[in-house]
Structure formats: C-alpha cells, structure tokens
Chains A and B, each alone.
Chain A
Amino acid sequence: MPFSSNTLFQNYFSEFKNYDEVLKSNMTINPNWEKLLNNLTQFSNKNLIAKQEEIDWLMDENGVTYNVYNDPKGMNRSWNLNIVPFLIHQKEWEAIEKGIIQRAELLNLVLKDIYGKRELIKNGIVPQEVIFAHRGFLRQCDQIQYKTAKNLLIHSADLARGPDGRMWVVNDRTQAPSGMGYALENRFSLSKTMPNIFQGINVKDLSNFFFHFNKMLIESAPQNKDNPNIVVLTPGPLNETYFEHAYMASFLGYPLVTGNDLVVRSGKLWMKTLKELKQVDVVLRRVDDVFMDPLELREDSYLGVAGLLDVIREQRVAIINPIGSGILENSGLIPFMNAICQYFFNEDLILPQIASWWCGQEKECTYVLDNLKDLVVKRIDRSNRENIFFCEFLDSNELKALRDEILLTPYQFVAQEKISFSTAPDFVNGNLEPRKVVCRTFSIATKDTYTAMPGGLVRVAPERENLFVSNQRGGVSKDFWIITDEFQPNIQKYSWDNTCKISISHINDLPSNMAENLYWSGRYLSRSLNTARYLRMVLNRMNSEQFQNKKTDSENLVFLLKSVTTITSTFPGFVGKGSEEVLKNPLKEIISLITDETRLGSFAQTMFSFNNSYYTLRSLWSRDMWRVFDSIKKLWNKFKENSNYSIPELVKFLDRIVTRLIAFMGLIEESILVNQGLLIYFIGLQAEQAMMNIAKSRSLLVFNFDEAKQYEILESFLLSNESLNIYRYSYRSHLSIENVINLLILDKEYAKSLTYQINRIKKDIDRLPLPTNTMGVSKCQQKIAEASLLIQNLNSDMLLQLDEHEAIRQNLDHVLRDLSNLLHEASIELSDMYFNHSYQQKQLVNQNFPLS
C-alpha cells in the first residue's frame, strides 16, 4: 500500500483507536478517498504546509472571521479551513439526502402542529411537557397562519457517523442556522488555493442550491410578488457569525439591516432609508426567536422590531424561519421522533438518532438516574456546551447536584447514550491526524418539497481526543464534497465580491443605520489621517530641534506642541493645568496621543472608532479593502508590542499608517457606488477635513509672529497638510501668511482649501434625497449654504487685519469660529434628519424577565 508508508499517515493511529472515514484498522483505504489522497501525495509535505499557510492567509486576508464572545482575541478571529476536505460519495449521499429531507418534512409538520391543533399531544404521541416546558414554545406565536407552502423554510441538521457506519442526526438547527455562507467561502478558498486537489474528482457544485435559496426567499413574500423587498436581519457586528451575515447579504444582493433599521407602523414592516420608509416583504433573519419583538417577546432586546408579531399575524411579512421555530431545537423530541414519523408518514426515520431518554417519564427517569455515570445529560431547551453534562467526567458531588436538579423538574432533562463518532484525516503540523468531525447539512423548502445543499459545513474537533465539536469555540472547518462519477462543471465560478449584485439600487433606499456608519467612517478616517500627519510633523520638528538647539526653535516647538492639544482636543495636555511638567517630556504625551485608546481625541481612539463604524459596513467591502484594513491592524498590533519608542520609530510608524490610510481612502472611492452611500461617506470625510482645517488655521494662523517664527509655523502647517509642494508650485515665493490663507482657505480649486471643501459638502448635501415629509430646503442645507455664502465673500485683506495690539488676527479668528459652528450645526441637522435617533426603541416599563 502506498499510504501505509506515506509520511502523511505516520502515527495516524498511534494513540487513538477509532472508526475512521479513510483508514480502516487493517490499514486499507476507503476507495472513495483514493483519488483525493493521491492528489494530496502529489504535494510534498513542505508544499502541503505551505498550502495550509496560504489558506490561513487567504482567510485572514479576505476577512473570513468568526467572533467569539468573551474572548479577548475573539473579535474578527480568523475562520480556520483545513486543506484536507471531507467527502462522501453520491451513492451514499443520496440515502442521506433522503433522510434529511424526510426530517425537514417531518419537523415542518411538527412545527405546524405545535402552533396549530396540537394533535401530537392530544393523541399521546408527544408528551405535553416536551413542548410546554421548553422555553422555545412561544405562546405568542400560537395559531399564526402562514402563506408559504411550508412553515419550516430552512432546516439544518448536524450529522456524524456512528459506530454502525451510518450517519446519525446529532442536532437540529431551525431558528436561524449558520454555516451556509462559510460552506460557500470554504469551497471558494480551497479551489482557489489548491485547484490540483480537485483533479480527476467530480465534486457537486453548490451554486444551484443558492439559486433555489434565493428563489425561496422571493416566493415567500406575502405581497409584492414581482419585486419583493428582502432584507437580511443581523444582530450586529458583535455576533459570532457576523461575517456570514454580511457575506450572505452581499452574495444574495439584499440589504443587511439591524433591528433599529426596521420599524412597524400602520400594520406593516418598514425599513428606514434616507428618503422614506420602505415596506419590507421578507426578512431572512439571523436573530434568534425571543429577540425578534421586544413588545411581545424578550423585552430587553434591541435586536428585533417592536410590534413585528402582529404584522406576521396579519400576513404582511414573511420571516425566515418563522418566529417560534426554536421549539424544534429540542432534545426532548428525539425519543419521540420515530413515533412522530410513524404518525405522520407511516414509516420509520431514515437517519438514526442517538438513543435518548426523556426524564419526564417515570421508567425512563429511573433508568437515567440508575445509569447516570454512563450518560450525557442535557436540558431539553439548551444545547450549548455549558449546559451539557458529560457525566463520566463529573465527581460524586457534581453527580449528586445533577441528580437533585433532575428530580426537581425531571421534564426538563434528557439523557443520551455517549457515542463515539467517526474521525477523518486533518492536516495538523505536517501530518494527518484523525479528528472527530460533524457535518452540518442544509435544506430549504422548494414548492412542495425540500432541496438539500450537496455538501455543507464540516467542523472538526479542536483536540485530537476531543469529544465535542463546536464552532462557538472557533474550531476548524473543512470543505464538504459530494463526489460523483459524472462530470461536474467548473466549481471555481463564484466569489463573493464578483457575483454580488448591487444590493442598493438607489441612494434613496440606503438603510439609515448604514448611512450613519458611512458618515462616521468618513469622519473618523479623515480625523485619523489628519491627526497622524500632524503628529508626524511635530515629531519631525522635535527630531530636528535636537540637532540645532536654537532658541526660536524651542519657542516654536512649544507653540506647536500646544497646538497639538488644541487641534486634537486632548486637554489639559500641553496647554492646561500641569502643562509645564508635560512640556518637559513632550515625547511621553505624544506617545500617549498615538497609542492610548482610552483617551478621547487620541489617534488610537479615533482609529478604534473608525474600526467600529467601518466594520458594520462589512457587506460593502471589497477584498482589497479588507486587505489594507487588515494590514493597518497588523501594523498597529506589531507597533503596540513595543514599549520604548524613539522619535524615528514613531515617524516611521506614522509614515506607514498614513500610506495605508490613503490607500484605503482610494479603495473606498473605487469600491463603493455613490448610490450605495459613497455620497454620505464623502460628506463625512469632507466635513471632518474642513473642521480639522479650521482647527489648524485657528491654532497656527491667528497669532501674529515675527518673520522668522512665522516662517517656521507656516512651513509646519503646510507640511502637516502635505501642501508645501503645491504652495511652491503656486507661488514660487517665500512663505507668506497672505499666500497661505489664499491657498488653504480661499482657493476655489485646491482640494485642501476650506472654500473648496465647504462647496463640495454643499454640493453633496444638495444631492441627498429630501425625506418625504420635508418641504423645500432642509435645515442642514440651510446651514451649509450659509457657510458657503460666508466663505465666498471673504478676502485676504480683511482676514489679515491685526487687532490694536498687533497680536492676533481677530477677523480671521471670528470667521473661522463662525464657520466651525455652522459646520457643526449642519452635521447635527444631518444626523437628526437622516439617522433617525428618534426611533430608538425603549420599554415603557423597564422589566427584565428571564425569558430565555
């Protein structure tokens, strides 16, 4: 055998004996895997390691992430894909497919019955407590009728191969199953990195499934059948699978919204857009049942929409899956599933399940308590890892506590046989290792049947001997192949940013929450860039001062340092109380302004805010954008490992950050359409540029200095703005305050002049849709028009006038102050008009019930 000698399989079974997908204990190979293993052996071991690294890198670069709650490294953790896929032959898959479709059909009928006639209970097929004591049984959803042919529109099941060689059902996922998007991205990444691994193997394509999926969404619409408005509802960027929500929204071409983007009025569901409220027909939700309506369900939820259930009752919106389908995520049903199948279909379940005992029955409860040590115990309505008791690992005290708990409310518990599932080879540290795997399958309702995804998401146990597979912990995944003997078309044809349709057709339809994040992204990005450049300029000055210890320099430096505090609003700093001490060691304060994330106005804090608002725009990103974004983060993390910074190091760091920020700004402009919200981003960007420009001018141009000093200040200003070259080109003269004012404040063409910036903002604001109820000109338009008029009537003579002590240019200061106020007011009016803060939901009486 070629493989027994292959280094890949060295020590494969050394310490661990188990049923394996590929290698039998007598070292014979499962013939279905032969081609794949052959393809793998074409790579040298070193090459395989490199390929695994490449995939890790690709996942990282493309921002395929998985957030883990309560984990310091949790945010945006990289999704792990192992280079060795998992496969099943079409012949076996056909039987499995039948099984999962049968199960989907069955659970659909169970769901209809539970919230309908409850005949399963009345006829004694399912004990009442299995349903009524489950927290997922939402009495508010009782007797709701749906227009769709099926109630359960998406069904997901976790399968694993049992000791008898068959695939067993471990779990059902019915509320808002995750994994479809990851499965698609896994296939895409693997085929991009290792096309050779597919050689000579016919792998079933996934794209047809997504075509059906999209069709299912469209056909679910209770009205507007021709052109339904479909949205993807996400709990937000902190959710562990946020990447996937954005990915699916982008892939399918529907807006990604949060609860605050939606509102119920006049018996319908609406999405708040820039222009108006737009009726929503279908919601593909990734929010769990109880969070969907704070009026009737969990009252502390801000993830859903108040009043939604009533819109559903009136059949004016379709929620996929329907609210209440969490009742099917119920291990209490398992012991009764076969009887249910007999009841509805008069046949047996095709896919076996783990032997389970519901403690609500006296005989079963006695059995469980007598054999507790050998069983796995769960609550019927909690399937997360924290609520599963692997009794073999419990000590006698823990066992007693569990026993007492079961006795108090036996109907809440189910015990299951402990099963050892099969392993499959996983590429770990240059070798193949057997790891437990669980396959998540997906089926969706299509007309009068279900269609299953040919494949799915395979997750791998993180440790060699781990019993439990979960991606809550950010485990490893595999591409899941269904292989056939028939030729399959090319599988590399989709990528999420190439196939995505434009999700928003007109700026009028831009969800207001997304608009707000775009606006703030623009503002924070501009502030980051300006702050970085200004700090860099000051650091350069500090550096040169060390060489030429002239007095004027020192005075100038103090002046510049003070301006840092004013421009970044980081008082007291170099200005307020205690500033004399701070000025003795200015570097310390500058480092704090660069690195301290907790300090309002610091570079770090601005970047952090930018990060947050930008991350929520995930669905708009291109791959290049992610890559640059990620490189900024990596640069940042590496920089923070340091603790002792020299001035040149800091300058070098800021240089690199500045380059990347500018690359990023360029990418935004080319990757996002004006109608997708680029306009709003520009308004934010320019507003911040203008405000920073004003802040710098007020700090540096208002005071009157002697010529030498003036020269250096002007030079610093131009340097911090990267405008020195332009100045030299335009004026070819000695630096004069008059020319600087002309260039940076009054010039109509230069992109960094205040006049240009204000006119640009005005032009963009005028292009925004007027909300339906607004008549004539909005307040925001008025404010910016006022600013534009003010700056157009300025001339440099007037601005240059000195006060009676010849100390300051009062006119300049006043004009800048007025412009700053107008920009501020315009920004507030813009927020009020478009971002809908008046729509924040809140409980009338604050009560916090433990609904789930």
Chain B
Amino acid sequence: MKYKVSHTTSYRYEVGVTFCHNIATIKPKNMLGQTVLSYNLNVTPSPTEISERLDFFGNTVTRFSIQKHHSVLTVTANSIIEKDSSLQPNIYNSPGGQNITLQESLLALQNINSELLDIRQFILESILVAGITPEIKAYAEVSFKPNRSVFEAAHELMQRIYTDFEFNTKVTNVATPIKEVFEKKKGVCQDFAQIAIACVRSVGLPARYVSGYIETLPPPGKEKLVGTDASHAWFSVYIPEFGWVDFDPTNNQIPKNQHIVIAYGRDYYDVPPLKGVIYSTGMNKMKVAVDIRPADE
C-alpha cells in the first residue's frame, strides 16, 4: 500500500515576527513495514538555517530558523510512504507473546541487557505522564492481573478506553494533566494514548507514545476531501518474548496499514510535530491540514 502524505502547518502572525527558531518532528520513520520512498520539507519564507538530526529516541528532528521579518509561516512535509504491515512480526503468530502474563513479564524485565535498558526507560513517569494516581492504577488493574496475559489485558484496556472515554476536541489541550483527563473521561487521541500509557506504566510495564497519521476513508460514495485527515497518536506496549505492540484506543484497533508512524517518545512532550520560539509581540493563528491518499502506482 502506497500513500502520498502532505502535512501543512501554517501560522499567521498579527504583527509579524522578526525571526524565529523552530523544531519539527514530522518526518515519517523508515522501519520494517514502513518505507519512506520520498520526503521533503518545505518552509516559507525559506529558512536561513536548517539542519536535521536524530533525537534521543531515534526520531528525525528538523531544526530551522528564519531571520527575516515575516507574517506567515508555512511548514509543509510531503512524503510518499509504502506500508506493508505483513512484514512486521505479528503477535497472533507468537504464542509466547500472546500468553506471557504480567507476573512473568515483570520478571523478564528485571534482566540487565542493553536492549532492555532502552526499553525500561518507558516504565518510568515522564513529563506529561506524571503523578499517576491510585485511581488510574485501579482502572489499569481491572484489566492487568498477575496471571493474565499482558497482550489480552492491553487489548482490553484499549477497548475500555474506547468505550469509557468520549472523543471531544473542546475539553483538553496539550498541557491538560492526565489526572484531569481521567476525571472528565473526555479528550482527543493524544489524551487517550497518554491515559493508556499511564495505566500500563502503573502496573510496571513499558509503554510509549506513538505520533503519526491515520488514513480516514470518505463515507461510501463520497469523494474524499483534501486535508480531512489528521495528526494522530496512539500507544505501544512492550511485551517480553515478542516486542512492541501498538494499540489505537481512539479507533479501537491494532494499527496496520492505515497508520503511519512518525516518532516514538515517552509522551507528547518528546515529539510535538512543530514547536518554536518567535520574536514578536502579537498573537498568532494556527492552521493544520493533513492529507493522506493512496499514491498512484
């Protein structure tokens, strides 16, 4: 499956900006089952400096600065991605991965080897998944039990969040603490992902945040509109004997070909698509448009 992805973020500044520094975490990952066939980042006005590097988590970050006065900033990432999830290990083909219990998993995680060290950092609290309350832990323990399969529990957790939480774009923002999201049971994909991560970590397992895209299909018989797709986020649980397994609690499914991965982090804080510091006194208006469609062969 080939996709053409275009992700445009634009800022309109009320009084103009004399210059700015920005960081974008926006380039899709090249990995097993997902190949980036082409990628380019367009910034207007054209940046004075632009450079790419890998961050702590292995994601590609682009840093740029614009040193001339401007009133509109547009950042467009265009890529062509080939997805073939059949190349990735499938948990349903791994009896060991499917059956390992919480108790067994916690034991397996205690070994010290460099691969596990990398993974174990995702058990700890992080900037936005901090202050995990006993209530959140209790919510997690409804699914996670010492002698139950971790995969089964995580799958159920995803379903429960899908059912118990209402998708609502007006209640939360990027800085809403998980405690508050948990109390309101409302939020957007990144809130659901972070609640799930908090739950998984509360029982001592590694969970990470996945930032990416999802292809949305138009209603039957309708033409797909440009820009209706969105930035998306979901979570991933590490299951010993198998590896990382992704879960999308917003759509109640295990991601396959419709999900495109951009970056992994501990939570949203590690991988915001675009951030920056501007030198200006006025307000700004942001607009994001994402378009994903099958690429012509």
Where the two chains meet, the residues of A that have a C-beta atom closer than 8 Å to any C-beta of B are: 118, 121-122, 124, 128-129, 132-133, 139-140, 142, 264-267, 294-296, 299, 306-307, 310, 404, 408-409, 411-412, 837-845, 847-851
Contact = CB atoms under 8 A, between A and B. Distances in A.
B184 interface: no
A100 B173 CA distance: 48
Interface string B257-282: 00000000000011010111111110
Given A122-B117, A139-B55, A265-B19, A845 B112 contact: no
A844 B49 contact: no
A223 to B, nearest CB: 18
A776 B271 CA distance: 48
A404 B135 CA distance: 13
A844 B127 contact: no
A842 B275 CA distance: 11
Contacts of A118: 117
A128 B121 contact: yes
Interface string B45-70: 00011010001110000010101000
B132 interface: yes
Contacts of B20: 844
Contacts of A307: 21, 65, 277
B136 to A, nearest CB: 10
A294 B23 CA distance: 12
Contacts of A840: 279-281
Contacts of B18: 838-839
Given A264-B21, A295-B23, A844-B284, A121 B117 contact: yes
B272 to A, nearest CB: 8
B281 A267 contact: no
A369 B48 CA distance: 57
A837 B280 CA distance: 9
Contacts of A837: 281
Contacts of A266: 48-49, 67
B175 A128 contact: no
29 contacts: A121-B117, A122-B117, A124-B112, A133-B124, A139-B56, A139-B270, A140-B56, A264-B21, A266-B48, A295-B277, A296-B23, A307-B277, A408-B132, A408-B134, A841-B277, A842-B277, A842-B281, A843-B278, A844-B22, A844-B274, A844-B277, A844-B278, A845-B174, A845-B286, A847-B174, A847-B175, A847-B275, A848-B175, A849-B269
Contacts of B21: 264, 295, 306-307
A306 B117 contact: no
B37 interface: no
B278 A842 contact: yes
Nearest to A839: B279
B120 interface: yes
Nearest to B266: A139
Contact of B124 (A411, A838, A843): A411
Contacts of A264: 21, 65
A842 B280 CA distance: 7
B275 A265 contact: no
A140 B25 CA distance: 14
Interface string B103-141: 000000000101001001100110110101010010000
Contacts of B127: 849-851
Is chain B's binding surface mostly helix, strand, loop or mixed? mixed
A139 B48 CA distance: 26
Interface residues of B, number: 45
Nearest to A264: B21
Contacts of B39: none
Nearest to A138: B56
Q: Tell me which of B57, B137, B284 has the highest count of chain A C-beta atoms within 10 A of its own C-beta.
A: B284
Nearest to B15: A838
Contacts of A267: 49
Given A310-B63, A850-B127, A845 B275 contact: yes
A840 B125 CA distance: 33
B120 to A, nearest CB: 6
A669 B110 CA distance: 70
A294 B277 contact: yes
Nearest to B121: A132
Contacts of B175: 847-849
Nearest to B277: A306
Given A265-B48, A841-B279, 17 more contacts: A122-B117, A142-B56, A264-B65, A266-B49, A266-B67, A306-B21, A306-B277, A408-B134, A840-B279, A841-B277, A842-B281, A844-B275, A844-B277, A844-B278, A845-B174, A845-B286, A847-B275
Contact of B117 (A128, A296, A412, A849): A128
Nearest to A837: B281
A122 B114 CA distance: 6
Contacts of A132: 121, 124
Contacts of A408: 132, 134, 137
Contacts of A139: 55-57, 270
Contacts of B48: 265-266
B265 to A, nearest CB: 9
B112 A849 contact: no
A343 to B, nearest CB: 15
| 8 tightest Cβ-Cβ pairs between the two chains A and B | A306-B277, A139-B56, A844-B276, A307-B21, A133-B124, A838-B18, A132-B121, A306-B21
Contacts of B281: 837-838, 840, 842
B124 A265 contact: no
Given A306-B21, A408-B134, A850-B130, A838 B279 contact: yes
Given A122-B114, A307-B65, A849 B11 contact: no
A128 to B, nearest CB: 6
Contacts of B275: 295, 299, 843-845, 847
Q: Tell me which of A118, A404, A847 has the highest count of chain B C-beta atoms within 10 A of its own C-beta.
A: A847
Contacts of B173: 847
A622 B141 CA distance: 66
Interface string B1-45: 000000000010000001111110000000000000000000000
A132 to B, nearest CB: 5
B240 to A, nearest CB: 17
A509 to B, nearest CB: 22
A262 to B, nearest CB: 12
A844 B11 contact: yes
Contacts of A412: 125
B103 to A, nearest CB: 15
A637 B270 CA distance: 51
